[in-house]
Chains A and B, each alone.
Chain A
Amino acid sequence: MSSSTATQPYVPKTRVGKVTDYVDSRVGGSGIVKEFGRKIFPDHWTFMFGEVALYTFVILLISGTFLTFFYDPSMAETHYEGSYLPLRGVEMSVAYASSLDISFDIRGGLFMRQVHHWSALLFVASVAVHMLRVFFTGAFRRPREFNWVVGCVLLILSLAAGFTGYSLPDDLLSGNGLRIIDGVMKAIPVVGTYLSFFLFGGEFPGTAIIGRLYVLHILLIPAVILLMIGIHLFMVVLHKHSQFPGPGRTNTNVVGYPVGPVYAAKAGGFFFIVFGVLAAISAAFTINPIWNYGPYDPSPVSAGTQPDWYIGWVDGALRLMPGTLGPNFDFEFMIPFPWGDNALSLNVLFPALVPATIIFALMFTWPWIEAWITKDKREHHLLDRPRNAPTRTAIGVAGVVFYCIQWAAASSDLIATHFLVSLNDVLYVLRFLVIFGPVIAFMVTRRIALALQRKDREIALHGRETGRIVRLPHGEFIEVHEPVDDYKLYKLVSFNSPEVSIPRADANGKVGLVDKVHGRVSRFFFEDRVAPVTPRELEESHHDHHGEVAGAQDREAITSR
């Protein structure tokens, strides 16, 4: 209070100024503007995936709210009376009938349904790609480990949001999806049957499940997603965004554009672009034509059906697992207990739980696993180019391949019918690939990453190939190389390149087991290593090959052309 007496109280002059001042003096807007108005955000095209995820979520909220005004989550029986003639008079649930009404009798209803479904597909996809970006560039390292975990939670929530929404129309396709969920749930030992009865309110399908999924889909899951997004963005602001290494960029600064006006304009404009692209897709491409499937009935099923893409891998895993081996062995075990036998269906339980557990467990713990391997506890605000972390990149690609083979398996029947090959052979090949594919992908990716690093070294040391062949006086032909400029050079040589850490003996001259394991893992990670070029190496290479590197005159000749 005493400090305000020193200056004249501010009196706004314009009308806008008066309104602004009225609000500002009550909510402290000046402080917010001071903090965020010119905040710097680094710019890179890969940083947009997270933006796409955020924007598709907003579009989901908008389109979803519209749908709730017309959708009725009741499983009561009714006879369809709407304007889609082929189904008129057919007995169905109110939920399915209202979904048909949204599509056929509400103007813009079909459009909003399609926007909602396409956005959901893009939402999960953008979350996944955003996480791949974070993984492959090492953005999960200290101090961002917790934000990576929040991201993992968001991925699981986005899958849950997608699945609960997928079942709401109560059509034949989604009903069979629920039937599969019911079957998987019943395979859980001890509590499975109870879980199924509690979820469905009794025997499958019951009359409760749609209403329950609806509450999860429109209330609980979006609320938790919003909360997580809040935490996620709060931490982004707290940490400031990471950036790629390059000239002028260091681990202690952020280089980019200020929020106002450039970044706000670009990011804000990008929201409208995402919305526009989704609207264009929804205008032209039908998604989930529920009227073709008919109402849910436990007896019929359509062939060649697939779940939405993000659930596909679980369905594919279910297909890949053999139920029997040879004529006399099957994976359903009857475990004898004093009160009788209990059934353990590993043919369902194993594929439903194990791949997902492996992927999510590794995903959640990866920041700490890698920190343990590298023993690197420093803060990292500069990203890795994926090639500069060959083993991490290779592990990531192996995971992606593991995922994609399972995803492909969810289309095993369509692959067979489209390419006119035996369905059984498709599955045999995929069973082989789901195990060996990741291993092959790991080896190939690591080699590619190392090769790219060598290429970078080559360019840093000897410059870029100009394509100009010169004949020297003594008859030798050489290709003229042009040295890269300092900025480009710095991009190629500024990266961390951890080395193998050899386990050290303790005071008694012994190496502990943990240290031994660590030494092994460290060797596996960093034995094959391409070190960044040092100034001395560059110096030496100029002496060795000065004939091959374009001199000042050559450069002039090249640029003047």
Chain B
Amino acid sequence: MADSREDASRTSVTLASPGQQLDEFENPGLPPHRPRLADRDPRAEKRAERQVALLFTISVIGTLLFFVGYFFIPLNDTIARLRLQNLTLGLGTAFAMLGIGVGIVHWAKTLMPDHEVTESRHEIRPENDRQDAEKIVNDILDESGIKRRPLIRNTLLGAVVLAPLPAIAIFRDLGPLPGNVLKETMWDAGVRLTRDPSGTPIRASDVTRGSAFHVIPEGLNEVENKLEEKAKAVVLLMRLDPSELNPSPGRENWGYDGIVAYSKICTHVGCPVALYEQHTHHLLCPCHQSTFDLEQECKVIFGPAARPLPQLPIEVDDEGYLVASSDFQEPVGPSFWERG
């Protein structure tokens, strides 16, 4: 056991071993075994035995604690009670498990023999095994006749290559094709801007300077695919001093007296751009911190988004409510290949 340097030449592959050059130290072999306290002192041994038994007893107590929590701490609609029950169940389980685990490990470390044992490694692939296997494989190939009969081999290959295709094709109905749905939202000329989530319409006079409204199109709460429509149609409505807005040519009448509406869906990967900093007129996406500047038509001024938030053209109807003048002029939300 002590001197276990073995002859490496018996294996067919070379084994890396420090000490193969002459100019290296001799492996001194395993250090002498150092007896533990419990190996020498019967009292220490007895003590370790009692400690292990105590740990197992703690486990029993833990299991009982679990049942105390389960049956005697009824839930009563308060979070505090739930927490107490969770704590009792959890600590009960923890003691039940740790008692067993620590007990067994303590037993192994103090009372079971701790002599290190040496075992030699086997060659992973002995050469005679390889020869036998080669012969077997050749016999199998030979008996199957696959080499002699190329017609069978080639038709089988063709069949095997084609056979999985239905297994792929059958997944076609996982979803419909995108079509144009990503380019259209519920907004249209005359659709009222309403509050999210109540759906009450908004008058231009409600939108005071500095305020921001989370907006959904009128009737959104009634449509069947509400969440899908909402994921495209949500809008942020803000009022600035008209002199602070710098609309580009063709977009001068997309707002109303300093009130502007922009898509709330980030052009990066689609999180809601929910934070409005009214002093700087910046919109910030809390997911990845893309920052958009309202004074520059929501141009990206920081962060990973590459495109401005699309603007929703708005006007005021006869009754003084804000309505859309049309749908968005470009697709909202994250980019996709067919967006252009």
Contacts and interface: CB of A to CB of B under 8 A. Distances in A.
A276 B95 contact: yes
Interface stretch (B3-11, B142-150, B157-165, B244-252): B3-11
B118 interface: yes
Contacts of B98: 272-273, 276-277, 280
A330 B306 contact: yes
Contact of B231 (A205, A342, A427): A205
A136 to B, nearest CB: 18
A108 B89 contact: yes
Contacts of A143: 124
B339 interface: yes
A494 B19 contact: yes
Contact of B121 (A38, A253, A331, A347): A253
Q: Which of B171, B174, B177 has the most CB of A within 10 A?
A: B174
Contacts of A250: 4-6, 17, 19, 27
Interface in A229-273: 238-240, 245, 247-258, 261-262, 265-266, 268-273
B192 to A, nearest CB: 17
A275 B85 CA distance: 19
B29 interface: yes
Interface string B159-199: 00000000000010011111001100000000000001100
Interface string B37-76: 0000000000000000000000000000000001000010
B24 A532 contact: yes
Interface residues of A, number: 132
Interface stretch (A319-327, A361-369, A472-480): A319-327
Contacts of B128: none
B112 A341 contact: no
A519 interface: no
B213 to A, nearest CB: 12
A196 B120 CA distance: 55
A187 interface: yes
B204 interface: no
Contacts of B176: 197, 202
B27 A201 contact: no
Nearest to A321: B304
B90 A111 contact: yes
A40 B119 contact: yes
A340 B340 contact: yes
A304 interface: yes
Contact of B105 (A248, A266, A315): A266
A85 B119 CA distance: 64
A178 B338 CA distance: 21
Interface stretch (B281-289, B310-318, B319-327): B281-289
Contact of B175 (A201, A296, A305): A201
B94 interface: yes
A323 B300 contact: yes
Contacts of A223: none
A506 B93 CA distance: 69
B86 A114 contact: yes
Contacts of A319: 288-289, 303-304
Contacts of A512: none
Range, interface on chain B = 35 or more
A27 interface: no
A347 B177 CA distance: 25
A348 B121 CA distance: 51
Given A180-B270, A332-B335, A252 B304 contact: no
Given A342-B337, A423-B289, A182 B302 contact: no
A343 interface: yes
Given A248-B116, A378-B16, A534-B24, A299 B75 contact: no
Q: Which of B112, B264, B336 has the most CB of A within 10 A?
A: B336
Interface stretch (A120-128, A153-161, A379-387, A438-446): A379-387
A269 B105 contact: yes
A93 to B, nearest CB: 9
Nearest to B227: A205
Nearest to A212: B174
B77 A247 contact: no
B268 interface: yes
Contacts of B129: none
B255 interface: no
B2 to A, nearest CB: 7
Nearest to B231: A298
B65 to A, nearest CB: 11
A139 interface: no
16 contacts: A176-B272, A255-B4, A261-B108, A274-B101, A275-B101, A276-B101, A277-B98, A279-B94, A299-B197, A318-B288, A332-B335, A334-B340, A341-B340, A343-B339, A496-B16, A535-B23
- Closest 3 A/B residue pairs (Cβ): A283-B90, A183-B269, A272-B101
